[in-house]
Chains A and B, each alone.
Chain A
Amino acid sequence: MSTQTLIYIFVAASFALYIGIAIWSRASSTSEFYVAGGEVNPVVNGMATAADWMSAASFISMAGLIAFLGYDGSVYLMGWTGGYVLLALLLAPYLRKFGQFTVPDFIGARYYSKAARVVAVVCLIFISFTYIAGQMRGVGIVFSRFLDVSVTIGVIAGMGIVFIYAVLGGMKGITYTQVAQYCVLIFAYLVPAFFISFMLTGNPVPQLGLGSQLNDGSGLYVLQKLDLVVQDLGFAAYTAGTKSMIDVFCITAALMVGTAGLPHVIVRFFTVPRAADARKSAGWALLFISLLYTTAPAVGAFARLNFTESVNETAYADAPGWFTNWEANDLIAFRDRNADGIMQYRAGAAFDGAPLFTDERGASGERLVMNEDIPGGTNEVYVDRDIMVLANPEIASLPGWVIALVAAGGLAAALSTAAGLLLVISSAVSHDLLKQTFRPQITEKGELAAARIAATAAILVAGYLGVYPPGWVAEVVAFAFGLAAASLFPAIFLGIFTKWVNREGAIAGMVTGLGFTFLYIAYFKLWEPAANVQANWLFGISPEGIGVVGMLLNFAVAAVVAKITARPPAEVGRLVSMIRVP
């Protein structure tokens, strides 16, 4: 059977599975729609959280990022796992004890204010939409490369699937679908990693393989060899990295705290029966997540080694099939600077920016690009980092069914996260804005209908962003974390661990944190991208890490404002005492 047929079968089978589960677990009340009735087993919830959490970025992009960043890629590994410690220890059990439906529910009740609730809703929608646009783009990439359909049709198909199980099933449908999606995505991630690790080192466990000797007879360790190979070509040593220590520190911290402040992750802990289950569930979630996250650095390192060795100094005419496949998808380009027909892969850009292909072919048959040249450059190969995981099975010449599995896994990762995000957006609209703020007289049935309408609208917006991605989407997705770290996390933390922070303090803190972080990111990423260099950064902290400063500002402003305004009413003290005890 051809690889293409296998891909169709795997993807169709996984979609049928998700829809089947959705029909079996329809939501019939608002409680089932928002929090799956609050009776999900902690292990099941941990698995669903892991799928919810591991997005297209984790599955498709992260190993590729690490492959090219080397040590600097550690910010993602530590940042996106360390946040679970904060969640389990500082937030999840208390929010579960509080026992409502949404994050703004807690902010609104703890800070006795509809204004605080609305500010939290604004933060939440802002964070979730920046995040979801990236998921839909992930769906589009997988479809266009593996299923030979246009990105538009890919996104529409993805929207259709998410629509069926998120709108019908609500949180209950999403939870059980995510369990299936976790199984698909982790299997799809680990299988090629086992193969490649075994091929390169003789040890099938990638976590151990990365620390082992290569079995090419050189006696070198994988990381030693990689350092030698990349330094030879003019790159920084793989295990050293190029970012400054303060920047690595701040990016890691922003990602960790941001993880703990992401509404679609927090809300998963509202679905288990007890506070103690919320703690356990966070542990299970991290276990399931760490299976992928400890594998990713191995996948990245192996991919970098394989890619470099199979491309560098190879004649374009002899380039492997995957090279021309991805070139046809605009994600790889070869500019033959010295006209020798051989690909010299070196440090530095091959040309300015992402490739703009012409319709013409060069002397060796490569697609020509019209980008500005970079004077003095020696690199001839452009490669989009996103392809490393998807191309990995092909680069390592693995069998067709592994490639098909990876396609299904990438879709599972993107769809599961998109569904979780759509749910928090829809519950923020139907529950926080309608029921709790503007239309308190709405019936349960009306609220449920409103939740479904809001989910539908959110899917349409997300789909639009996936088909017509504004240039800034890919850039901005990573910043959702900084925004979450600077806005929601401090408000929730102070709400649990202090009794004296009041409405005025919390609102002023959230507005300051979100505003500062947003403006800093927007300045360097949207308005003055040319100024985005270390010399211009505040304390040398890049826009990726600035959420930490926003968070500190949030804490400081909240404390000062709370001290100079009236203390919160007595019932807030009782509420805090209540949530602190399981």
Chain B
Amino acid sequence: MPEDEIEAREVAASNYWRANVRLLGLLLSIWFICSFGAGILFREYLDRFSIGGYPLGFWFAQQGSIYIFLLLIVIYVVLMGRIERKHGLGDGEPQ
């Protein structure tokens, strides 16, 4: 591989890593707010509201946070796919 191509790949890799870490920070904030925040720290306040027969804080702790976890992984998979294509990285489609 010629010198400048290696360099271009290194730049792409470091941009890719920065984009990845930014995305991680965002998604993990949501992860924290929904589980530790809504399900534990602000549970008593949220319990004044309800969703069906569930007090809201209780719902976050026993149902909602799990659905949100799943959604976060789906979003991460999709956005990482995009970021990889944008930076020309990734290990190709499965054979």
Contact = CB atoms under 8 A, between A and B. Distances in A.
A71 B55 CA distance: 11
A81 B69 CA distance: 8
Contacts of B24: 89-90
B13 A577 contact: yes
Given A223-B54, A248-B40, A293-B66, A581 B80 contact: no
Interface string B23-53: 0100110010001100111010001000111
A345 to B, nearest CB: 24
Contacts of A81: 65-66, 69
A277 B91 CA distance: 10
Q: What's the dominant secondary structure at chain B's contact region? A: helix
A77 B16 CA distance: 34
Contacts of A245: 40-41
A575 B89 CA distance: 17
A208 B73 contact: no
A85 B69 contact: yes
Contact of B66 (A78, A277, A283): A78
Interface centre among A77, A84, A582 (most CB of B within 10 A): A582
Nearest to B72: A85
Nearest to B90: A582
A211 B39 CA distance: 17
A85 B65 CA distance: 11
Given A78-B61, A277-B94, A286 B69 contact: yes
Interface residues of A, number: 49
A265 interface: no
A503 interface: no
Q: Which of A84, A89, A207, A252 has the most chain B CB atoms closer than 10 A to its own CB? A: A89
B80 A82 contact: no
B49 to A, nearest CB: 13
Contacts of A294: 62-63, 66-67
A84 B66 CA distance: 10
Given A78-B65, A239-B47, A276 B81 contact: yes
A264 interface: no
Nearest to A77: B62
Most chain A beta-carbon neighbours within 10 Å: one of B17, B53, B70, B94: B53
Contact of B63 (A88, A276, A287, A297): A297
A340 B40 CA distance: 43
Nearest to B53: A221
Given A90-B24, A283-B74, A211 B41 contact: no
A172 interface: no
A213 interface: yes
Given A77-B61, A286-B70, 20 more contacts: A74-B40, A78-B66, A85-B31, A90-B24, A207-B63, A208-B52, A210-B53, A211-B53, A221-B52, A223-B54, A223-B58, A224-B53, A239-B55, A245-B40, A276-B90, A279-B80, A283-B77, A290-B66, A581-B13, A582-B91
Interface of B: 13, 16-17, 20, 24, 27-28, 31, 35-36, 39-41, 43, 47, 51-55, 58-59, 61-63, 65-67, 69-70, 72-74, 76-77, 80-81, 84, 89-92, 94
The 8 closest A-B pairs by CB, nearest first: A221-B53, A211-B52, A74-B61, A283-B73, A297-B62, A211-B53, A211-B54, A274-B91
5 contacts: A78-B39, A245-B40, A276-B80, A286-B73, A294-B66
